Structure 1
Amino acid sequence: MDITRLDPDDAAGCASAVELQIATHAVDCPAALLSTPTGYAADLRYGWDGDPGRAFLARDDSGAVIGLVTVFAPTYDNTHLAWLDVQVHPEHRGRGVGSELVRYGEQVARELDRTSIGISSWDLPKADAFAKRHGFEPKAVEVNRRQDITNLDWTTVQKLYDEAVLASADYELLRIIGALPDEMLAGMVAVTASINDAPRDDLDIEDDVFTPERLRAYEAARRGHNQTMYRVIARHRQTGELAGHSVVTVERERPHIAEQNDTAVSRDHRGHRLGALTKTAMLLWLREAEPALTQLDTWNAESNNHMIGINEQLNYVIVARSIEYQKSL
């Protein structure tokens, strides 16, 4: 088996990686949202916020792609940690390919001076057994939910929005497409950092560190992915403080697909239903701005009961559960 790093400029390699993912998810999680080859290349070039991972393709003697391992080693924070994603073509499973890819990924992590390593997999018995066989312990559960925009009860959305407006009379909403104005950047750093209050369960991770530069890199990465970014921001009327936001991106290559990037409320402004306010205001905006939109995906820790409660009121349904494992190197 030959393992080589995949370059984002390698269009054929990126297409092969996506073909592999389609084959693996047809067995493991048919409803999962996957990238197109163009989107996958953007992931390798820009990452989520200018901090991309490294992908390595495994080929057999005939040159056919049979496996893929991605190593993400954060540089903004959590520099002790690396995350692996391992995928093996269904026709080549049970032959040691996955184990070899785990060993390869661990070696890359060691070369990057990482002391802890994590791996995520769909909540499947074979995946669980594979992770534990390689010394990983389950630490957290993430849940992918999807909203069917075409069958959304807009009467309910409007009702929830109206109720949230009454509870948040001291706040106003701002709509922003794309990059933030410079004068809002510092305030949005604080709002974005509120995500650190989300449940971590048993994961050995540190707080995410946000800076103006990182937020600008995130915006640049969304442009690099050819996505339109919508922000609904709650601002305190009296002080002008930014209190919370909801961020959704819509693909231009596939304008029927959107993803919830973030919903967060600053600690000092909680208790005013700002999460429900910004999420419902976002839906009402997208109904006007993106008529082709049919689905909106979001991820939450399974233990994040507050946000899940809001999502369930908005008719999100579970697509799949993902288990996050971790071990020390």
Structure 2
Amino acid sequence: MDIHHVDPDGDLVPRLARLGEEVGAVDSPWAHPLSLPRWRNLLRRGWDGEAPTYWLGLQDGAVVGSAGLWVGHYDNLDAAWLDLCVHPEHRRHGHGTRLLAHLQAQARAAGRTVVGVDAWEHDAARAFAARSGYEQRSVGVSRRQHLARLPEGWEEAVELARTTHAAAYELVRVAGALPEELLEPVAVLWHGINDAPTDDLILEDEAFPPERVRGYEEAQLAGQRLYHLVARHRSSGELGGHTIVAVDEGRPHLADQHDTTVAPTHRGNRLGLVLKGEMLRWLRDVEPQVEEISTWNAESNAHMIAVNEQLGYEVLGRALSFQTVLID
């Protein structure tokens, strides 16, 4: 097997996208694989302006697997996250082991020693991780909301919470990038995500300076439409929480739930339910073609899961997060 770097503008990107489709059809048939334009944008901008690096494994001209390296420079400066997959027809031939070794060497070269990788829940994934010296440290759950079958009474529940528990807050709608006057307050608010459960993962708190928020917006707006809903306390002017949904421009019936955060001093006011419920109302007006919203939570995040279940999110699959510490 030869390992080739994938240039965002090169001719290997369609093959990377096709591999994602073929692997997903076997490992996670419920998931929507990234489209070719979304792959190119991901390789150029990543999630928040920090692009990952990807390689393809080729044998006799056939794509047998891929390897991605994600490193950030805002926080967790000793950590790297790996994306590893092997084509179903080429498994159990050592390709995954070789791609993993390549990624670990790249992580070391970048000065990263705490290395993690995700996999859909499966005995084979657990076995491969154990053989490779990785320990399971967290479980995530993929959920999806079908807007055509929202649970009965959801809107009444949101309205009741808004007019009672959350009556002291106004909701500010932002389509696209944040206006300058909201950038710094939202960046401060975003730090509240560090209270979300991370189970046994070796992680430091994430940092969210304004430039990272702008990097996130620029990356996501290249191919998606962003809808950002912010709860602002009327008397103090403080931001109590926010939620963000992205609509895929190429497949506008699909949307993804991004961050939902409630500031510690504003919890207990049902803002999570109000924000996510009011987002549904907003999307109904401006993006009526949206059929599904997908989300992701740690299995231990009981509070947000309760909100999601109240709004009709259904479990699709569980993913396991593994980590190891590289030792010279």
TM-score range normalised by the length of the shorter chain? over 0.9
In the aligned structure 2, how far is the partner of 1:319 from the partner of 1:17? 24
1:57 maps to what in 2? 56
> Paired residue for 1:164, among 137, 153, 161?
161
Quick one: percent identity of the two aligned structures?
44
Q: Mark the runs of 5 or more structure 2 residues left unpaired by the alignment.
A: none
* 1:1-329 equivalences in 2 (<5 Å): 1-10=1-10, 12-61=11-60, 63-153=61-151, 155-165=152-162, 166-224=164-222, 226-329=223-326
- SS of the residue 2:268 aligns to: coil
Q: 1:157 Cα shift?
A: 2.5
In the aligned structure 1, how far is the partner of 2:41 from the partner of 2:154? 33
- SS of the residue 2:12 aligns to: helix
Deviation digits for residues 192-218 of structure 1, max 9, x if unmatched?
Answer: 111000001000000100111111111
CA RMSD of aligned residues (A): 0.9
Deviation digits for residues 216-240 of structure 1, max 9, x if unmatched?
Answer: 111111122x111001110000011
In the aligned structure 2, how far is the partner of 1:55 from the partner of 1:217? 20
- What TM-score do the two structures reach when normalised by structure 1? 0.97
- SS of the residue 1:167 aligns to: coil
- SS of the residue 2:207 aligns to: coil
Kindly provide the amino acid, as one letter, of the partner of residue 56 in structure 1: W
Verify the 8 A CA contact 1:190 1:266 in the aligned structure 2: no
Verify the 8 A CA contact 1:144 1:321 in the aligned structure 2: yes
Kindly provide the amino acid, as one letter, of the partner of residue 29 in structure 1: S
**Regions of 4+ moved over 3 Å:** none
- What TM-score do the two structures reach when normalised by structure 2? 0.97
In the aligned structure 2, how far is the partner of 1:321 from the partner of 1:163? 32
Q: 1:18 Cα shift?
A: 1.4
Q: 1:28 Cα shift?
A: 1.1
Range with greater deviation from structure 2 (22-31 or 99-108): 22-31
Q: Mark the runs of 5 or more structure 1 residues left unpaired by the alignment.
A: none
Q: 1:75 Cα shift?
A: 1.3
Range with greater deviation from structure 2 (157-166 or 208-217): 157-166
- SS of the residue 1:105 aligns to: helix
In the aligned structure 1, how far is the partner of 2:239 from the partner of 2:205? 21
Q: 1:33 Cα shift?
A: 2.2
Number of residue pairs the alignment of both structures matches: 325
In the aligned structure 1, how far is the partner of 2:226 from the partner of 2:25? 29
